[in-house]
Amino acid sequence: MKTLFWTCLVVAGLVVGGATLGKAPVRGTPRPHPNLAAAQKLTAEASQKVAAAQRANEFDLAGHGQKAKDLLEQASAELKLAVEAAEAGDSR
């Protein structure tokens, strides 16, 4: 359960930290989004780890495992929106 907590905490930090991107100064070409891509990968990995924990424990973890997976799915969707906003030059 500690691993789940720390995984979610790391993912949340990456989501918040990776959301601040700008444009490259060279001819207005958007920069790649390595931090967002890494955060996206980590949300998928975290979700897989939660599912593995659910299977290994043969319990639903009192519903917290599913809630964690739902939140990770929401984080993944927000990361996709962050990439789209960065590519559009939206600084909100």
Nearest Cα to Cα of residue 43 among 23, 19, 73: 73
pLDDT in tens, 27-63: 555 566 899 999 999 999 999 999 999 889 877 688 8
Range of the domain at 63: 33-86
Domain count, the chain: 1
What lies within 8 Å, CB to CB, of 33 at 6+ separation is 18, 21, 82, 83, 86
Residue with more model confidence, 88 or 22: 88
Overall pTM surpassing 0.85 (yes/no): no
Cβ atoms within 10 Å of 62's Cβ, excluding its own? 8
**43 assigned to some structural domain:** yes
Distance of CA 61 to the CA centre of its chain: 22
Predicted local distance difference test score (pLDDT) of residue 61: 81
**2 assigned to some structural domain:** no
Q: Residue 23 forms beta bridges with which residues?
A: 30
**45 assigned to some structural domain:** yes
At residue 57, what is the residue type?
N
pLDDT tier at 87 (50, 70, 90 boundaries)?
A: confident
